[in-house]
Structure 1
């Protein structure tokens, strides 16, 4: 079969789909990944074939004038609504830039289904335009379900420009790589699969081979935070807070983020550039992070407890669900200074309940069907999507 995959141009959205895309290829299916031109190299580095559609969109333009926390005199609810509005303006703007080309590609190539990452709405539009199933692939916890009524007017306006009406933002079928206990009961046409982390290509550093002499704490803030803010202030605060604790600290960053950290970090801190988190996190006693889906789900699959500091988009909901499951503690962005980071890290490292909660989620994830199992039964997956459409 031919499967067209649609993603926006950021690793945080695309990487969770890579294991299923490769499972499809290994099962003998023809896969193509449609993305904006500036993202084709990232897709190509995964070994998947990339097709450029539309034009590049600068995500930062959608966030100008919007802070990570409410301004003085502004309530949390108003600030959240503003951020949700900007998010949908961004996602529909990205989709609008790609939809025309993606529809043309789908008409020419005739895929049997379109798999779109949860905000890759150009793929949803292309699927409906050519009459094939639209299969939504979430990044882990499905927060889009609870926001579908808020999102729908933005998507309706976008779809109308392409002659479509009544398009469900959730597609015809949702693939959910997430333990059931972290997903609220709902009526979504859903197929579950195991979260298999893909965090980019990279070798195993020699220092990761022996067991650490002290508890290892990873500090990482994913891909999107620095794209929007041009800083890694939370990592710098966490490094300062962990100073002097009997732990080894690893600041995990992408190459373009290294300049945002101190030129000379404290002696107990190692800066790891481009080390895939799925190689690093199984050696860690805890991970401090911003609550991005990729980091959270990779930590979940490795059974590593977390300190989460959400700042935008779906991160607060992720943090709350991980905390409720007993696998994390979380801080609000406004209170996350060095002292707060230190206290939270000490709490997670000292209490066995966090490790137990993380281990439960890892076991629940491991019990789900693998991406390979779903790809082997692709006929039934597409049939289920058609029944739900």
Structure 2
């Protein structure tokens, strides 16, 4: 069996596919991955011996650019993403039996359209449920397209969401579909998601409550086992004192008017704790030469989070899951998209605190840390850690094997 895994997004979109690729190869499948051409993604895939087919521009360059993406520029950006998928995926999918598409919606729309043209079975996957229509939660609003404040019915909001997505991405998608002889779609969102989308999240951390319109398959989170040892200097820092508080914001640039590193260190010191900063896309750095702080780059979080007092992070699905599995109390400082959802789940489960808003102060972050560092929160975090499943990639890989065994659909003329 040959499988193409396609995405466009940040590390949180790419790493789960790498985990699935490793599991698929262990079961005898051949795997390719379409992803942005960022060096860190190429290294990640090269480390497990999986071929990277680059698509589009650097995700990091687009994310940390001096000018954040504007609402007015979204349709143009969508057209570029969709066209890039049509070019890269068409070549990469040659000879494949199944395509897995995830990432930002225009990219998924492009990848699934290519699969449709080539007659390859495909599945749409999300790493958080807030993009799946359900009466139990509201959709995310796109930049510059807020929902009317007076509308509170989730069903009505999801109808408005479908219209907004059509306005942003419909023309670009249908223009590209027409170029390869495919008919237009009148509901981009529902076409992208399909009738049986996959939700690659842990059912305890992210319980799906159901929807009459979707047959959602929750596989469990796709986790890439990390066997790397921690750097010697980091290990020495950890061994030199009490467990520190980890602060890192992953692929978030943290565009605020405050010095986030200084705020974080002051808040951690206010709790009488040492601080461990992760450089990340926010470029966190030390603010002085005191020996109670240390900074790291790319590191094995699975090993590290079991040795820290708490994890302060942005609330990406991957980081939230890793911290939860490690039993580490969390403080989530959500920046965008699904991150407020994950912050809420951490608070609801009693395994940490949700910071109010994306811009922490030393006082607000210190208050959140006081909650996270209580013995009760740590005990609850350890209890929940034992319930998180680790078989998500195995479940997904076997589903794909079954899918590939079925009769291939007919190729579009």
TM-score band w.r.t. shorter chain: 0.7 to 0.9
- Range moving further from structure 2, 146-155 or 169-178: 146-155
Residue 237 of structure 1 and its aligned partner are, at CA, apart by 1.0
Q: Distance in 1 between matches of 2:407 and 2:271?
A: 51
User: Is 1:143 matched with 2:130?
Assistant: yes
Match of 1:372 among 373, 394, 397: 394
User: Is 1:123 matched with 2:111?
Assistant: yes
Q: Which residue of structure 2 aligns with residue 79 of structure 1?
A: none
Aligned length: 362
Q: Distance in 2 between matches of 1:25 and 1:232?
A: 45
Residue 135 of structure 1 and its aligned partner are, at CA, apart by 1.9
Q: Deviations over 1:126-162 (max 9, x none)?
A: 22232323223333x3221143652541343332121
SS at match of 1:182: coil
Residue 174 of structure 1 and its aligned partner are, at CA, apart by 0.8
Q: Which residue of structure 2 aligns with residue 76 of structure 1?
A: none
Residue 384 of structure 1 and its aligned partner are, at CA, apart by 9.7
Matches within 5 A, 1:215-364: 215-225=243-253, 229=255, 233-254=259-280, 258=283, 260-262=284-286, 264-333=288-357, 336-352=360-376, 354-364=377-387
Residue 360 of structure 1 and its aligned partner are, at CA, apart by 4.3
Q: Distance in 1 between matches of 2:259 and 2:235?
A: 26
Q: Is the 8 A contact 1:220 1:235 kept in 2?
A: no
Judged with a 3 Å threshold, the aligned counterparts in structure 2 of structure 1 residues 327 and 51 are, in CA distance, closer, same or farther, namely: same
Q: Deviations over 1:149-196 (max 9, x none)?
A: 525413433321213425522244314232245233123333333435
SS at match of 2:388: helix
Q: Which residue of structure 2 aligns with residue 7 of structure 1?
A: 7
Q: Which residue of structure 1 aligns with residue 174 of structure 2?
A: 160
Judged with a 3 Å threshold, the aligned counterparts in structure 2 of structure 1 residues 117 and 267 are, in CA distance, closer, same or farther, namely: same
Q: Deviations over 1:10-47 (max 9, x none)?
A: 32221122211110111110111112444563443443
**CA RMSD in angstroms, aligned pairs only:** 3.5
Q: Which residue of structure 2 aligns with residue 47 of structure 1?
A: 49
Judged with a 3 Å threshold, the aligned counterparts in structure 2 of structure 1 residues 37 and 271 are, in CA distance, closer, same or farther, namely: closer
Residue 4 of structure 1 and its aligned partner are, at CA, apart by 0.6
Q: Which residue of structure 1 aligns with residue 95 of structure 2?
A: 110
| TM-score, normalisation: structure 1 | 0.79
Q: Deviations over 1:269-312 (max 9, x none)?
A: 11122212112111122111121222112112212221111122
Matches within 5 A, 1:59-74: 59-60=62-63, 64=67
* Unaligned residue ranges in structure 2 (runs of 5+): 134-138, 140-157, 179-183
Judged with a 3 Å threshold, the aligned counterparts in structure 2 of structure 1 residues 158 and 128 are, in CA distance, closer, same or farther, namely: farther
Q: Distance in 1 between matches of 2:72 and 2:316?
A: 18
Judged with a 3 Å threshold, the aligned counterparts in structure 2 of structure 1 residues 311 and 127 are, in CA distance, closer, same or farther, namely: same
Judged with a 3 Å threshold, the aligned counterparts in structure 2 of structure 1 residues 382 and 185 are, in CA distance, closer, same or farther, namely: farther
* Unaligned residue ranges in structure 1 (runs of 5+): 67-82
Q: Is the 8 A contact 2:101 2:124 kept in 1?
A: yes
Judged with a 3 Å threshold, the aligned counterparts in structure 2 of structure 1 residues 199 and 223 are, in CA distance, closer, same or farther, namely: farther
Q: Is the 8 A contact 2:75 2:169 kept in 1?
A: no
Q: Distance in 1 between matches of 2:313 and 2:7?
A: 24
Q: Is the 8 A contact 1:197 1:278 kept in 2?
A: no
